[in-house]
């Protein structure tokens, strides 16, 4: 049936309940919708991570810290090369803090927000970063030349609200970079099993439907940013310099 829920990315009401997908962590069926305009997929699971799961997430990131640092350092270099005027950067969801560390490597002043206390302790204690534990919201009044968010927006039920808050804290000629696990048409066959047996890891982009509730197309993410005031949107893939694979991070750079 059409029009159950508007698309969280492009706001189109031409959405369809596609199927009920199985949550990998909860084991519960979750209604999944598809936007017929921008071809993004979304579901609202209501799942919230426990402290135990957050500790597991930290260990996963810590075990991959060398490759994460290498790849996020390369991504940071690409961003400051594309936007050489950027001097201040704020990251939403900084994880262990390696992107913030990379900003410091390239002599940019960085700050960030993270909700995982284990990650925050590592970022401040081991890396000595200036960053906050908690959510970024309207109470934070500082402005920045660039906001970055890497593998965060796929977790949000209302991505437009956070994007708007980031936009409102940009300096003139600012930029926002968003990296998410995009869904392309070649990924659609994974929909056939998303309702029964989700995979444990990529390349199945629907493998973790509990926490990955937004599955953006490039068009969907681009439409979101342009509709919220961006004057341009550039999609690019940052290479995996740690393992020499085709790409580590795919994202869109919005300029204002």
- Domain ranges across the chain: 1-48+181-215, 50-180+218-255
Q: Quick one: pLDDT at residue 140?
A: 94
Query: Tens of pLDDT along 16-54?
Result: 999 999 888 888 899 999 999 999 999 988 888 889 999
Percent of the chain with pLDDT over 90: 82
β-bridge pairing 170-179 and 144-150: parallel
CA 57/CA 42 separation, integer angstroms: 23
**134 neighbors 115 (Cβ within 8 angstroms):** yes
- Domains 1-48+181-215 and 50-180+218-255 are alike in CATH topology: no
Q: How confident is the model at residue 245 (pLDDT cuts 50, 70, 90)?
A: confident
Percent of the chain with pLDDT over 70: 98
Q: CA quadruple 178, 98, 147, 117: dihedral positive or negative?
A: positive
Q: b/e map of 47-57 (b: 16 or more CB within 10 Å)?
A: bebeeeeeeeb
Q: How confident is the model at residue 213 (pLDDT cuts 50, 70, 90)?
A: very high
Mean pLDDT of the chain: 94
Q: How confident is the model at residue 197 (pLDDT cuts 50, 70, 90)?
A: confident
DSSP reduced 3-state for 186: helix
Question: Domain 1-48+181-215: which CATH class?
Answer: mainly beta
Lowest mean pLDDT among 72-81, 159-168, 196-205, 208-217: 196-205
- 17 phi and psi, to 5 degrees? -70, 110
Extract the tokens encoding 162.
Answer: 């956070």
- E-strand ranges in the chain read 15-22, 29-35, 41-42, 88-92, 109-114, 132-133, 144-150, 170-179, 214-215, 232-240, 245-255
The domain 50-180+218-255 is placed in CATH, from the list 3.40.50.460, 2.40.30.10, 3.40.50.150, 3.10.20.340, at 3.40.50.150
To 10 degrees, what angle do helices 65-82 and 51-63 make? 80
Is it the case that residue 2 has pLDDT exceeding 70?
Answer: no
Stated pTM of the model: 0.95
CA 199/CA 97 separation, integer angstroms: 28
């Amino acid at each position: 049936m059409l029009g159950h829920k508007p698309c969280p990315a492009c706001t189109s009401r031409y959405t369809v309940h596609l199927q009920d997908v199985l949550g990998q962590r909860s084991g519960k069926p979750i209604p999944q919708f598809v936007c017929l305009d921008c071809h993004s997929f979304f579901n609202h699971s209501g799942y919230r991570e426990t402290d135990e799961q957050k500790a597991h997430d930290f260990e996963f990131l810590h075990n991959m810290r060398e490759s994460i640092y290498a790849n996020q350092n390369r991504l940071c270099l690409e961003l400051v090369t594309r936007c050489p005027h950027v001097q201040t950067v704020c990251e939403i969801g900084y994880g262990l803090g390696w992107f913030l560390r990379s900003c410091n490597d390239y002599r940019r002043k960085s700050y960030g927000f993270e909700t995982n206390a284990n990650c925050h302790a590592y970022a401040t204690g081991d890396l000595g970063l200036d960053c906050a534990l908690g959510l970024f919201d309207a109470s934070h009044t500082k402005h920045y030349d660039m906001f970055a968010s890497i593998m965060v927006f796929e977790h949000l039920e209302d991505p437009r609200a956070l994007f708007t808050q980031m936009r409102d804290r940009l300096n003139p000629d600012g930029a926002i970079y968003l990296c998410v696990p995009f869904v392309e048409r070649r990924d659609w066959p994974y929909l056939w099993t998303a309702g029964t047996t989700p995979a444990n890891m990529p390349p199945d982009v629907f493998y973790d439907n509990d926490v990955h509730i937004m599955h953006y197309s490039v068009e969907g993410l681009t439409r979101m940013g342009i509709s919220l005031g961006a004057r341009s949107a550039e999609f690019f893939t940052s290479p995996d310099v740690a393992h020499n694979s085709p790409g580590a991070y795919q994202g869109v750079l919005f300029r204002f």
